[in-house]
Amino acid sequence: MQRIAIFAALRWECTPVVRSLRQVERTRIADFQAWRAQTRGTEVWVVKTGIGVDQAGAAARAVAGQNRFSLFLSTGCAGALAPQLQPGDLVIADAIVGEATNGGVRTDVDQRCRLQSVAAAAAVPAVLGSILCSRQMLATAATKRAAATQHDSLAVEMEGGALASAAASSGTPFAAIRAILDTADTELRHAGKFMDPQTGSVRPVALATYLARHPSVLGDLLAMQKMMNAAQDSLQRFFTQWFASIGE
């Protein structure tokens, strides 16, 4: 039986994957929340890493120590660096560049071709290109433009470099598919005021206090919720199709 591990930073990013599986068992791997299921002769592990390369690296190493895997897959959301990308578009990585990659890590050719085929079958817009892994959230349009110029990447996230490096160390094929959350010109200046930087969850008291002082931010939050819904919808459509195609 082949075994694959799918990594995402946050609970809401894991949810579309888990919802696409049946008879899911909730478990833990070391300090990390995880879910396990079997589909079409394949054992699937879904692992919530937490935000950032340090957390992601620790999660990937913990998983690699459990069993041999035929694939490590990085997923979840990403910020657009390319101006044409919209919330819900998928970016399939041909390489991960930036933090924890020592100059860049190429993804597995066969796996990324399969991801492209599945995205097309699921009728979800998808593009192929490099994804930047950054230690810091790129919160402004200006920082996104600078990163796009420096790294020639389509999107940015904060975990893929460590996952790619851990896969390489364990001899496991690696692939990455991310759904765009915020566009290249979206400003995320307010998020750090009320979001936990480790978990990505909203701190209710901090949010209420911030909104009381800055009521105009409510419109930005509602727009962000729509972006999250678009990203989740695309991921669920993709993974539903992907799991259905396993073994074909």
Domains in the chain, please, with CATH? 2-186+232-245 (3.40.50.1580)
| Residues forming a β-bridge with 177 | 92
Please give the Cα distance from 82 to 49 (Å, whole number): 26
Residue 69, pLDDT score: 96
Tell me the residue type at 78. A
- Taking the alpha carbons of 124, 111, 55, 16 in that order, is the dihedral positive or negative? positive
Band of the pLDDT at 40, cuts 50, 70, 90?
confident
CA distances from 184 to 84, 89, 156, 219, 232 (A): 8, 13, 10, 18, 19
Question: Which whole number is the average pLDDT over 185-214?
Answer: 61
Going by C-alpha positions, the residue among 83, 80, 79, 104 that lies closest to residue 94 is 104
Question: Which whole number is the average pLDDT over 26-41?
Answer: 94
pLDDT digits (tens, 9 = 90+) for 84-118: 999 999 999 999 998 767 778 999 999 999 999 99
Using the predicted structure, report yes or no on whether residue 192 has a pLDDT greater than 60.
no
Counting Cβ atoms within 10 Å, is residue 84 exposed (0-12), middle (13-18) or buried (19+)?
exposed
Residue 166, pLDDT score: 94
Residue 197, pLDDT score: 54
Residue 102, pLDDT score: 73
pLDDT digits (tens, 9 = 90+) for 207-232: 556 556 756 665 566 667 788 899 99
Residue 25, pLDDT score: 97
**Percent of the chain scored above 90 by pLDDT?**
75
pLDDT digits (tens, 9 = 90+) for 147-185: 999 999 999 999 999 999 999 999 999 999 999 999 999
Using the predicted structure, report yes or no on whether residue 190 has a pLDDT greater than 70.
no
Please give the Cα distance from 14 to 48 (Å, whole number): 7
Reported residue count of the chain is 248
Residue 101, pLDDT score: 73
Going by C-alpha positions, the residue among 20, 7, 3, 4 that lies closest to residue 48 is 7
Range list of H helices, the chain: 11-19, 53-64, 109-121, 141-151, 160-170, 204-213, 217-245
Band of the pLDDT at 248, cuts 50, 70, 90?
low
Using the predicted structure, report yes or no on whether residue 242 has a pLDDT greater than 80.
yes
The predicted model scores a pTM of 0.90
Band of the pLDDT at 246, cuts 50, 70, 90?
confident
- Cβ contacts of 242 within 8 Å, gap of 6 or more: 20, 115, 118, 122
